[in-house]
């Protein structure tokens, strides 16, 4: 009986629609796991980069030197990107004498906000797929289950003497479709919730850095204007 009801045999004996459902769920599961491993690596690197940048930034390094060092790189991510965007705009506005210190800080903050939005979008990439897979996979599996059981009862109604052996394959394939739907959904939901929480924490860290960095630049602007006024 076990050989007759093996997974591969059940897949081959299933109707075309149920086979398509199983293949769709299998593909969804494979893609979901690929995105899970990818997002886990990206978020791990983002947290590591954040810690390294914070350690360097708060070590008392000269901001001009830090900006030149980061600008020499091909690309910057996370807080480094926010810092470069904000400091670049700050220097540009200050050289252009763009009005009051409030106007300079408004422009600097807007530049960092744009960079923050891009960084968050990058961190959230593919999370929508995990959310979708976690939401709809059980229903797709349930559809395969309903279809398989319906075919089993239709076949059962066409014979005079029904036995369990006649309906078992159809019911088994139906249950396999449900199991595959859950197999695709559960890891996706867990990963989505975990990654969303990590992205939220990183976004909060970026936001706090923006506020602290803005305060530092604002103090520098006021100090420079006081020096000019005293001269």
State pLDDT tens for residues 46-86. Answer: 999 999 999 999 988 889 999 999 988 878 888 999 999 99
Q: What is d(CA 37, CA 126) in angstroms, rounded to the nearest whole number?
A: 11
- Kindly state the tokens that stand for 96: 């252009």
pLDDT at 93: 85
Q: What percent of the chain has pLDDT over 90?
A: 52
pLDDT at 3 over 50: no
Q: What percent of the chain has pLDDT over 70?
A: 83
More confident residue, 154 or 118: 118
Question: What average pLDDT does the structure give for the chain?
Answer: 85
- Kindly state the tokens that stand for 109: 């903050």
- The predicted-structure confidence for 102-141, as pLDDT tens digits, reads as follows 888 888 999 999 999 999 999 999 999 999 999 999 999 9
Task: Summarize the confidence of residues 32-36 as an average pLDDT.
Answer: 96
Q: Give 174's Cβ-side CA count (13 Å radius).
A: 16
Q: What is d(CA 17, CA 143) in angstroms, rounded to the nearest whole number?
A: 10
Q: What is d(CA 124, CA 204) in angstroms, rounded to the nearest whole number?
A: 14
Dihedral Cα 190, 120, 39, 41, nearest 10 deg: -130
pLDDT at 10 over 80: no
- Kindly state the tokens that stand for 154: 């239709």
**Of 200, 204, 179, 207, residue with least CA distance to 127:** 200
Q: What is d(CA 123, CA 43) in angstroms, rounded to the nearest whole number?
A: 7
Q: What is d(CA 47, CA 194) in angstroms, rounded to the nearest whole number?
A: 14
pLDDT at 2: 44
pLDDT at 130: 95
Angle at 30 between CA 21 and CA 125, to 5 degrees: 115
């Amino acid at each position: 009986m076990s050989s007759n009801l093996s997974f591969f045999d059940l897949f081959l004996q299933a109707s075309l629609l149920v086979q398509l459902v199983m293949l769709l769920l299998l593909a969804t599961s494979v893609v979901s796991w690929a995105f899970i491993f990818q997002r886990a690596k990206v978020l791990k690197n983002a947290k590591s980069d954040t810690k390294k940048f914070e350690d360097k930034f708060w070590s008392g390094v000269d901001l001009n030197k830090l900006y030149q060092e980061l600008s020499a790189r091909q690309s910057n991510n996370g807080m480094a990107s926010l810092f470069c965007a904000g400091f670049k705009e700050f220097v540009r506005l200050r050289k252009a004498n763009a009005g009051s210190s409030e106007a300079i800080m408004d422009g600097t903050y807007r530049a960092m906000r744009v960079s923050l939005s891009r960084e968050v979008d990058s961190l959230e990439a593919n999370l929508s797929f995990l959310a979708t897979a976690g939401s709809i996979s059980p229903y797709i599996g349930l559809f395969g289950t309903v279809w398989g059981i319906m075919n089993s009862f239709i076949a059962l109604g066409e014979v005079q003497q029904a036995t369990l052996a006649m309906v078992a394959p159809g019911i088994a394939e139906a249950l396999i479709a449900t199991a595959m739907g859950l197999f695709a959904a559960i890891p996706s939901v867990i990963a989505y919730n975990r990654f969303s929480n990590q992205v939220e924490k990183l976004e909060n860290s970026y936001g706090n850095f923006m506020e602290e960095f803005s305060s530092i630049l604002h103090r520098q602007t006021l100090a420079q204007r006081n020096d000019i006024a005293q001269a």
